[in-house]
């Protein structure tokens, strides 16, 4: 089906099922229990999971296949967001034109930056992309304030034209929607103590993520993908065989930039505000972390990495000292304080520290990322069959 072989089709199917049932899977703990702190099934975070999943999938097409490490990918995400918000301001609150323009703008932007940056490879390429991204950030933050809103970010206003939507009836700013379905609409399903939230925006983003994932599988399995792998394994040899690798790498760069633009457009659709911080170099670094954490060059890895980082950023960082005290209240006083003091540096604002440790452990013990961890587990518990299939599974394209 869809031109996928059995293994890829089942991977796509697994991802689709996971994504569809995410509101259940991410809310395993009943409301009001102590563990409810770890529930991640609220709309905003679920949207982030899939949107950053798209971002990381796109980044992986460049980094995983060609080996070109771009340190400026957040610039495309930011450009996509700005384009989308401008569409909301000028044209319509429907998300479709916003997303289309976001992808196109990011693509054009990637074409220009890629054309210049791809003249160099290795560390020089990384530095060039980093420089372009920081340049975009600086422009968006101050010089281009009339277009980008500067530090405050680009926001919707009551008196925006929105020429396709007609006059604004209410005295409130309209919200982005998909032909009448508002992105923020949610329905709650209450089952005993559990509350599961189904959000329109999440499922909209999830469907786009599945399409992106499918396209990425097709690229990985195509002759084009094979050429990109050739660039990664030995570019000089490719040159000597009389092939010019640059059109291929540029195409990969632009595709990957368009993925980032798509993610940016979706972010703006879920939450119509675009800020310059989205283009900051730490944001570019984050997608590199996501991809490496999940597994470079694997299909599902970047999505897992994105999920992992966003989970830690939003859940671990919300645990504060009071919550810790309530968890360990059963311990004697002195011991309680000791335990809390020992854990405290790793939660709340210390979530970066926890992330750093996890990242180091993964890089040292699982160079193939979380995907390799999964394969190792499968190898441990699986029968002999697991051994056989392993040779055929998606090896990281190192």
Partner 1 sequence: MSKGNLTRRGVLKTGAVAGAGLALPTYLSAQESGFTNAPTGSTVTLGFNVPQSGPYADEGADELRAYELAVEHLNGEGDGGMLQTFSSKALQGNGILGKKVEFVTGDTQTKSDAARASAKSMIEKDGAIMITGGSSSGVAVAVQALCQEAGIIFMAGLTHANDTTGKDKRANGFRHFFNSYMSGAALAPILAAQYGADRKAYHLTADYNWGYTTEEAVRSSTEALGWETVGTVLTPLTQTDFSSYITPVLQSDADVLVLNHYGGNMVNSLTNAVQFGLRERQVNGKQFEIVVPLYSELMARGAGSNIAGILGSQNWDWKLENQLGAKYTGTNAFVKSFGEKYGFPPSQAAHTCYVQTLLYADAVERAGSFQPCAVVEALEGFEFDGLGSGPTLYRAEDHQCFKDVVVVRGKENPENEFDLVEIVEVTPVEQVTYAPDHPQFAGGALGSCNNGA
* Runs of H (alpha helix) within the chain: 6-20, 22-25, 43-66, 74-90, 95-117, 122-138, 145-148, 200-221, 223-233, 235-240, 246-270, 281-294, 301-315, 321-327, 333-343, 351-365, 369-381, 384-392
Q: Which of 162, 192, 205, 349 binds partner 1 (CB under 8 A)?
A: 349
Does residue 278 belong to the site contacting partner 1 (CB under 8 A)?
yes
Tell me: does residue 138 bind partner 1 (CB under 8 A): yes
Q: Which lies closer to partner 1 via its Cβ, residue 16 or residue 339?
A: 16
User: Helix, strand or coil for residue 196?
Assistant: strand
In angstroms, give the least distance from the CB of 153 to partner 1: 5
Q: Which two tokens stand for residue 52?
A: 């950053």
- 184 binding partner 1? (CB under 8 A): yes
Residues 208-247 that bind partner 1 (CB under 8 A): 210
Smallest separation (angstroms) from partner 1 to the CB of 216: 16
Q: Which two tokens stand for residue 4?
A: 């996928």
Cβ contacts of residue 183 below 8 Å, gap of 6+? 95, 175, 176, 177, 200, 201, 204, 269, 270
Task: Note the residue count of the chain.
Answer: 398
172 binds partner 1 per the rule CB under 8 A: yes
Pairing of strands 186-191, 273-274: unpaired
Q: The tokens of 252 are what?
A: 């990969």
The reply on whether position 284 binds partner 1 by CB under 8 A is no
What is the rounded distance in angstroms from the CA atom of residue 226 to the CA atom of residue 55? 22
Task: Name the one range near partner 1 by CB under 8 A: 51-59, 192-200, 245-253, 368-376.
Answer: 192-200
Stretch that binds partner 1, among 8-16, 86-94, 246-254, 383-391 (CB under 8 A): 8-16
Helix %, strand %, coil % for the chain, to 5? 70, 5, 25
**What single-letter DSSP state applies at residue 161?**
-
Residue 20 in contact with partner 1, rule: CB under 8 A? yes
Cα–Cα distance measured from residue 279 to residue 141, given in angstroms and rounded to the nearest whole number: 10
Taking CB under 8 A as the criterion, the residue among 99, 101, 206, 304 binding partner 1 is 206
Does 336 participate in binding partner 1 (rule CB under 8 A)? no
Least separation, in Å, of the C-beta of 302 and partner 1? Answer: 20
Report the nearest approach of partner 1 to the CB of residue 273 (Å).
6
- Positions that interact with partner 1 (CB under 8 A): 1-6, 9-10, 12-13, 16-17, 19-21, 23, 39, 42-45, 48, 138, 141-142, 145, 150-153, 155-159, 170-173, 175, 181, 184-190, 197-198, 200, 203, 206-207, 210, 271, 273, 275, 277-278, 313-314, 317-318, 320, 348-349, 352
């Amino acid at each position: 089906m869809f031109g996928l072989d059995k293994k890829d089709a089942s991977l796509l199917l697994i991802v689709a099922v996971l994504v569809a049932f995410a509101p259940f899977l991410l809310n395993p703990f009943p409301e009001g229990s102590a563990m409810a702190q770890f529930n991640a099934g609220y709309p905003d975070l679920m949207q982030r999971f899939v949107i950053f999943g798209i971002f990381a999938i796109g980044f992986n097409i460049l980094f995983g296949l060609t080996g070109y490490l771009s340190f400026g990918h957040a610039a495309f995400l930011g450009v996509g967001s700005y384009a989308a918000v401008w569409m909301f301001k000028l044209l319509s609150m429907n998300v479709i034109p916003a997303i289309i323009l976001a992808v196109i703008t990011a693509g054009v932007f990637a074409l220009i930056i890629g054309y210049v940056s791809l003249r160099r490879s290795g560390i020089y390429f990384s530095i060039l992309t980093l420089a372009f991204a920081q340049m975009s950030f600086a422009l968006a933050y101050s010089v281009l304030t009339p277009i980008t809103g500067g530090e405050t970010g680009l926001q919707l206003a009551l008196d925006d034209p929105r020429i396709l939507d007609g006059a604004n009836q209410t005295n409130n700013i309209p919200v982005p929607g998909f032909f009448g379905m508002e992105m923020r609409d949610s329905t709650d399903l209450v089952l005993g103590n559990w509350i599961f939230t189904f959000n329109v925006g999440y499922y909209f983003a999830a469907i786009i993520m599945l399409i992106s994932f499918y396209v990425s599988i097709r690229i990985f399995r195509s002759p084009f993908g094979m050429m990109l792998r050739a660039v990664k394994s030995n570019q000089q040899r490719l040159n000597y065989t009389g092939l010019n690798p640059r059109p291929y790498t540029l195409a990969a760069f632009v595709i990957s930039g368009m993925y980032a633009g798509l993610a940016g457009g979706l972010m703006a659709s879920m939450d119509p505000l675009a800020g310059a911080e989205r283009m900051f170099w730490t944001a570019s670094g984050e997608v590199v972390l996501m991809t490496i954490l999940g597994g470079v060059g694997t299909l599902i890895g970047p999505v897992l990495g994105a999920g992992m980082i966003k989970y830690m950023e939003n859940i671990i960082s919300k645990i504060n000292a009071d919550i810790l005290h309530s968890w360990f209240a059963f311990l004697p006083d002195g011991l309680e304080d000791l335990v809390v003091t020992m854990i405290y540096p790793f939660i709340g604002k210390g979530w970066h520290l926890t992330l750093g440790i996890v990242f180091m452990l993964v890089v040292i013990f699982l160079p193939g990322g979380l995907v390799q961890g999964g394969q190792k587990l499968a190898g441990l518990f699986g029968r002999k069959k697991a051994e056989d299939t392993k040779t055929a599974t998606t090896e990281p394209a190192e």
